[in-house]
Structure 1
Amino acid sequence: MRPILLVPAMLLCLGAAQAATPAPAPAAPTRLDHILLWGRGIDQATAVMAVKLGFQVRPGRDPGGVANRYVRFADSSFIELLGITRPDPVFDPGMKEDRQALKGGPGSRTFGFRTSSLDAIHRSLQALHYAVTPFFSGPDGAKPGWRLFAFDRAPLSSNTFFIDYAAGYAPDQFDPINADDYRVTREHPNGARELSSIWLVSADADADRRQLERMGFGHAVPVGLPEVGAKGFCVPVGPTALLALQPDGAGLAGRTLASGGPRILGVSFGVADLGRAQRWVERGYERELATYRGLSGESFLAPTQDDLGLSIEFHAMQPTGSPCAGASL
Structure 2
Amino acid sequence: MRPLPFVSACLLGLGLAASAAAAPAPATATRLDHILLWGHGIDQVTSVMAVKLGFQVRPGRDPDGVANRYVRLADSSFIEVLGITRPDPKFDPGMKEDQQALKGGPGSRAFGFRSSALDAIRSSLQAKHYAVTPFFSGPDSAKPGWRLFAFDKAPLSSNTFFIDYKADYAPDQFDPGNSGDHRVTREHPNGARELTSIWLVSADADADRQQLEKMGFGHAVPVKLPELGAKGFCVPVGPTALLALQADGAGLAAQAMAAGPRILGVSFGVTDLGRAQRWVERGYERKLATYRGLSGESVLAPTVDDLGLSIEFHAMKAGASPCPAMGS
Q: Which TM-score band applies after superposition, normalised by the shorter structure?
A: over 0.9
**TM norm structure 1:** 0.92
Q: Counterpart of 2:301?
A: 302
Q: Counterpart of 2:36?
A: 36
Query: Stretches of 4+ moved more than 4 A in 1?
Result: none
Q: Is the 8 A contact 1:23 1:128 kept in 2?
A: no
- Cα drift, residue 142 of structure 1: 2.8
In structure 2, what is the Cα distance between the partners aligned to 1:150 and 1:268? 24
For residues 242-263 of structure 1, what are the alpha-carbon distances to aligned partners after superposition, in whole Å with 9 as ceiling and x for unaligned? Answer: 00000001111011101x1000
In structure 1, what is the Cα distance between the partners aligned to 2:170 and 2:34? 13
Q: 1:165-184 to 2 correspondence within 5 Å?
A: 165-173=165-173, 175-184=175-184
Q: Is the 8 A contact 2:22 2:127 kept in 1?
A: no
For residues 43-99 of structure 1, what are the alpha-carbon distances to aligned partners after superposition, in whole Å with 9 as ceiling and x for unaligned? Answer: 000000000000000000011110000000000000000000111111111110011
Aligned partner of residue 280 in structure 2, secondary structure: helix
Q: Counterpart of 2:324?
A: 325
In structure 2, what is the Cα distance between the partners aligned to 1:326 and 1:278? 27
- The one-letter code of the counterpart of 2:297 is E
Aligned Cα root-mean-square deviation (Å): 1.7
Q: 1:156 to 1:254 in 2, by over 3 A?
A: same
In structure 2, what is the Cα distance between the partners aligned to 1:208 and 1:176? 38
In structure 2, what is the Cα distance between the partners aligned to 1:215 and 1:73? 27
In structure 1, what is the Cα distance between the partners aligned to 2:260 and 2:171? 30
Q: 1:165-314 to 2 correspondence within 5 Å?
A: 165-173=165-173, 175-258=175-258, 260-314=259-313
For residues 166-225 of structure 1, what are the alpha-carbon distances to aligned partners after superposition, in whole Å with 9 as ceiling and x for unaligned? Answer: 112122125331100000000000000000000000000000000000000000000000
In structure 1, what is the Cα distance between the partners aligned to 2:130 and 2:99? 25
Q: Is the 8 A contact 1:114 1:163 kept in 2?
A: yes
**TM norm structure 2:** 0.92
Q: 1:13-52 to 2 correspondence within 5 Å?
A: 24-52=24-52
Once structures 1 and 2 are overlaid, which stretch shifts more, 173-182 or 159-168? 173-182
Task: For structure 2, list consecutive stretches of 5 or more residues without a partner in the other structure.
Answer: 1-5, 13-20
Q: Counterpart of 2:71?
A: 71
Q: Counterpart of 2:135?
A: 135
Q: Is the 8 A contact 2:29 2:238 kept in 1?
A: yes
Q: Is the 8 A contact 2:7 2:94 kept in 1?
A: no
Q: Counterpart of 1:110?
A: 110
Q: Is the 8 A contact 1:294 1:326 kept in 2?
A: no
Q: Is the 8 A contact 1:201 1:263 kept in 2?
A: yes
Aligned-residue identity in percent: 82
- The one-letter code of the counterpart of 1:186 is R
Q: 1:326 to 1:62 in 2, by over 3 A?
A: farther
Q: 1:174 to 1:131 in 2, by over 3 A?
A: farther
Q: Is the 8 A contact 1:295 1:326 kept in 2?
A: no
- The one-letter code of the counterpart of 1:31 is R
For residues 133-160 of structure 1, what are the alpha-carbon distances to aligned partners after superposition, in whole Å with 9 as ceiling and x for unaligned? Answer: 0000011223241100000000000000
- Cα drift, residue 6 of structure 1: 5.4
Once structures 1 and 2 are overlaid, which stretch shifts more, 89-98 or 38-47? 89-98
Q: Is the 8 A contact 1:197 1:242 kept in 2?
A: yes
Q: 1:94 to 1:191 in 2, by over 3 A?
A: same
In structure 1, what is the Cα distance between the partners aligned to 2:65 and 2:207? 36
Task: For structure 1, list consecutive stretches of 5 or more residues without a partner in the other structure.
Answer: 9-20
In structure 2, what is the Cα distance between the partners aligned to 1:42 and 1:73? 20
In structure 2, what is the Cα distance between the partners aligned to 1:24 and 1:183? 35
- The one-letter code of the counterpart of 1:255 is Q
In structure 1, what is the Cα distance between the partners aligned to 2:119 and 2:219? 23
For residues 13-47 of structure 1, what are the alpha-carbon distances to aligned partners after superposition, in whole Å with 9 as ceiling and x for unaligned? Answer: xxxxxxxx975042542000000000010000000
Once structures 1 and 2 are overlaid, which stretch shifts more, 173-182 or 270-279? 173-182
